[in-house]
Structure 1
Amino acid sequence: MSAAEQGGDWIRGITIKQPFTAAILTGSKTIENRRKPWSWRGWLLLHAGRKVDQQALREPLIARTVRGRELVTGAVLGVARLADCHQSTAGGPPCTWWAEPGRWHLVLTDVQELARPIPAQGQLGPWKPTEELVDQVLQQLPHLRP
């Protein structure tokens, strides 16, 4: 069975507010903070939510990281592999500059940006993309497979 025939069975989506999606796509932000742990491991569509966190843009780390990037919203902008999910140890150093204490950290690797954003709906938590959306991603990243 081809990846396209499997639809979204081998891939999930994650919706992230801008400018955090852009920071992940630069390769600088290698984790995504969440309130609950995720059991899913594997490929994730990186979906930029419809809202831009304006307060986050005032943070120097974020402002430097996304400088000059268009903050596209409401679209799948890339893919990443979810390799791990952990919390920082109590009193220990954060795993990265981006880690929020007390949150679960989704560890993202193999980040690949799409050449053209794909408009799409997202949702909270890991979501299963439609077969049509997966096909559109595979047109831009034909090497991407389960």
Structure 2
Amino acid sequence: MSKELSRHDIRKMALQALFPLDFNKDLTKQDAIRHAIELEHHELVDEEQEHFVPKYLDQLVVGVCHYKEELDKVIQSHLKAGWKIQRLSKMDVTILRIALYEMIYVDNVPNRVALNEAIELAKTFSDDQSRKFVNGILSTVNQELSAEDKTEE
């Protein structure tokens, strides 16, 4: 493969793979990943229809799917009283899940990077209000995780 993908590109593909998995229960993770790759990086598919799947893309999709319940509990716990996660935009929830997965379960990604990447995804796939909402939730979680790290030292 000649093209090296950035982590930003991989996060974008993870979003494009995870989003339809919420709606289509018959869709497999591998099919969702393949479709996400083909959307913008069809050059990664060779003549035999073999697909290059970056390890980090696979890690994000599998990890978010595996920890979805826990991630949703974190999101729900940071919503205003009376709000339910079902009331949120599916796109915003998917962006939050990816960022929270990275912040909580991926050691080699600084929380600020995960937060900033989520804001960039919200700018691309949502609106300004969503960007502010995503920033608010993730900034609060980041502060809580930083406080936990300090108490463990």
User: How high is the TM-score relative to the length of structure 1?
Assistant: 0.29
Select the structure of larger CA radius of gyration.
Answer: 2
More contact order relative to length (CA 8 Å, sep ≥ 6) = 1
Query: Larger % of strand: which?
Result: 1
User: How high is the TM-score relative to the length of structure 2?
Assistant: 0.28
Query: Larger % of helix: which?
Result: 2
